[in-house]
Structure 1
Amino acid sequence: MMDVAKAAGCSQATVSVVLNNVMDIKISPDLRARVLDVARTLGYGLASPIRRAGLEDLREGCIGFIVDQLATTPEAVNAIEGARHASWEKDVTILVAQTQGRAEHERKALARLLQAGAQGIVYMSVFTRRVSLDPVFDDLPVPLVLLNCYTSDNRFPAVVPDEVTGGRMATASLIRKGHRRIGTIVGESFMEAAQDRLTGYREALAEAGLAYDDRLVVEGNWTPTSGYEATQKLLSLREPPSAIFCQNDKMAMGCFGAISEAGLRIPGDISVVGYDDDELSRHLRPQLTTLELPHRPMGAWAIEQLARKARSMHRGTHKVGCTFVARGSVGRKSH
């Protein structure tokens, strides 16, 4: 939709209104026609699972979406948007319940979604993790898909981001620019995303023949303040890094502040890569090179699995790669 908005000279919100055929919002016929024409020209939606999923069995039905948190981060909304996009042409309604991760809320939500006629259930965690499902999920009358989480026995189809590859891509992008001393600011170490992104960082160093130095690894907590403080620690080293991989864009925002305060320039003096492709990454100056989390395609994948039903659903955990987004915060290492 961002591509369509740019080509049509309007906002992404306008594109959404037009493509969803919302008629109670006043948009001029010329603008509506222009958005539709651009969408057709760019082949909007043709590469998405809309075209692959056999959604005929779900036509005019509904799917239940159970998620622990909706408001804290955009990931849940992005996944729901991906699911909606993958099902909209078949007139499938998505019903969403937020449970705060409480088992009693999950049981009530599940009962009400089934009562409403849900033909499949998507169970999502905002943070990638292993989950222990309530026994009520064991014998459902409809298929179940796990999104951004998985069970230890892999008995349900599950989809998660490929965080190890993401961490490797972020670090490798800096190595390709000639950086050899690369710092990283990690998220809270108990979280799988932080562990896996750090694993990817270490793999990229090893592949390039670079030694791992734990002085270059500083723990943050995903906030701008922690990114700022961690960057100060890295810059205070006797041999500071020439590049920093921040495990999310909010920490990268704090990193930018500390670098500027130290009188250094991005990317002239130091390069920075973030992670998440948060909206703020486009408002930093220079704009932040980052990786986009794949929650939209993950949501679409979940719908595709429900359409397949039990006879051919993917078993085990499926990993979806992140997309590298090159912007202006990475430069070649100066000698």
Structure 2
Amino acid sequence: MIDLATTPDARAVSVPHDGNSANNSQLQIPAETDPTLVTPRKPASPPSRRPTMTDVAKAAGVSQSTVSMALNNVSSARLSDATRAKVLSAAVELGYRLPRREGSVDEALPADAAGPRRNLIGYLVDEISTSPHPVVSVDGARDAAWEHGCVLSVFVTRSNADQEAAAIAALRAHPQLLGVIYSTIFTRAAQVPAALHEVPTVLLNCHDDSGRFPTIVPGEVGGGHAATDHLIGAGHTRIGFINGEPWMEAAKDRLKGYRRALATADLPFDPALVRDGDWMNSGGFDGTMALMALARPPSAIFCANDLMAIGALEALAQLGKKVPEDVSLIGYDDQEISRHTHPPLTTMVLPNYEMGRAAVELLLAEGAGVETTSRAAGHRRALTKIDCPLVERETVRRR
């Protein structure tokens, strides 16, 4: 089981008043953090919506996981005082409201007439060790669950049907089970086990053909469109695209977004400017070498993930091309390494943390009986796409 406790040894810093009393709570700054490092600045233009942890990560120039560890004062995290202070300053500047659990677990959720209060959320995922993304979704789900007086129990099944069935059976036997989040490491169609058909269930990063379950996925088409549009806005009209494995939904949707952005700007689609990669550094390197060997090479390259963008940086350096002076470059995913390239990589955020939070919020609505009539009537459930925002760093230059 995963739970989270508030550390009492903390100081309070007031969040700037934004006219919304719901956002006027306090951030807890760890006592060991030097308060002189926390220097909130007045934001140039406060966001019209409630700021998210993704917004804080963008402003502080760190990962979503780092923000979560800093704001939740995770003592085991090896974060410097300067990093913690930078995160806290960004949070204060944006008016971010740190979720704080109010009341005990027993007070947080209603009890069934015939049993104990339900406060356990099961989280099933097929894999977490081969990619950094699913762990961040777990972080988001854990934080949201705790905020609402629940705890998260995570089961990694590795696509083993027997392990999955055993995990579901254990969860269903628990008298405090509120519901289940069923997730996958990469976005794909999933066949939801029949044992979950009578349990409040939310699909995370996957979907089923029946539309029976509420579903959370990243807005990949919009992300591909936004990345390409950013390059177009910088004056680039010949833009290369190095994609991932073409059979994957993420690759298909990011390509679709790339093509839509070109069409919106009345720019022709040139198949010669598209290369299929494998999400790895070498795929970005090879794709870039091929693109730059064209008679009319691109002035900008959009890579469908950050690892391939790093390979593109290496290829351009080998060719004697400077980024962004000669060629602009943009990645996707906002992995930790993207902050440490030379120059730092402009990229798109894959909003894993916000997706995890959204899944819990949908599940709580399911557990409270919201929209249960639509399931009984066989109606299709809500499909929620979480935006993939742009993080501007130093690899894109206006022509």
Q: TM-score range by the shorter chain?
A: 0.7 to 0.9
Change (3 A) 1:16 1:203: closer
Match of 1:155 in 2: 212
**Where in structure 1 are there 5+ consecutive unaligned residues?**
none
Question: 100, 111, 114: which is aligned to 2:169?
Answer: 111
State the Cα distance separating 1:84 from its structure 2 match.
1.6
Counterpart of 2:124 in structure 1: which amino acid? Answer: I
Q: Are 1:213 and 2:270 an aligned pair?
A: yes
Report the equivalent of 1:330. Answer: 396
**What count of residue pairs does the alignment treat as equivalent?**
324
Structure 1 counterpart of 2:225: 168
Deviation at 1:14? 8.7
In structure 2, the residue matched to 1:82 is 140
Tell me the CA shift for residue 88 of structure 1.
Answer: 2.0
Q: How does 1:6-25 map to 2 (within 5 A)?
A: 8=38, 19-20=71-72
Matched, 1:252 2:318: no
Say which structure, 1 or 2, has more relative contact order (CA 8 Å, 6+ apart): 1
Q: Could you tell me whether the CA contact under 8 Å between 2:123 and 2:180 is conserved in 1?
A: yes
TM-score of the superposed pair, with normalisation by structure 2: 0.73
Deviation at 1:111, TM superposition (A): 1.3
Measured against aligned partners, the alpha-carbon deviations of 1:279-327 in whole angstroms (never above 9, x if no partner) come to 1110111111100011111111111111112323792321111011011
- Contact 1:185 1:217 survives alignment (8 Å): yes
Q: Deviations over 1:177-207 (max 9, x none)?
A: 1101100001100001000000000001111
Conserved? CA contact 2:118–2:177, under 8 Å: no
1:246-269: per-residue Cα shift (whole Å, max 9, x none)?
000000000000000000000000
| Shift of residue 219, structure 1, vs aligned partner | 0.5
Contact 1:60 1:93 in 2 (8 A): no
Shift in CA distance, 115/222, structure 1 to aligned 2, threshold 3 Å: same
- Residue 139 of structure 1 aligns with which residue? 198
Greater helix proportion: 1
The equivalent position to 2:363 in structure 1, one of 300, 306, 316, is: 306
**Partner residue, 2:250:** 193
CA contact (8 A) 2:204 2:217 kept: yes
Whole-Å separation in 2 of the counterparts to 1:240 and 1:109? 52
Give the counterpart letter for 1:311 in structure 2. V
Native 8 Å contact 2:219 2:387 kept in 1: yes
Match of 2:119 in 1: 61
Structure 2 counterpart SS, 1:285: coil
Matched, 1:317 2:378: no
Which AA in structure 2 matches 1:126? I
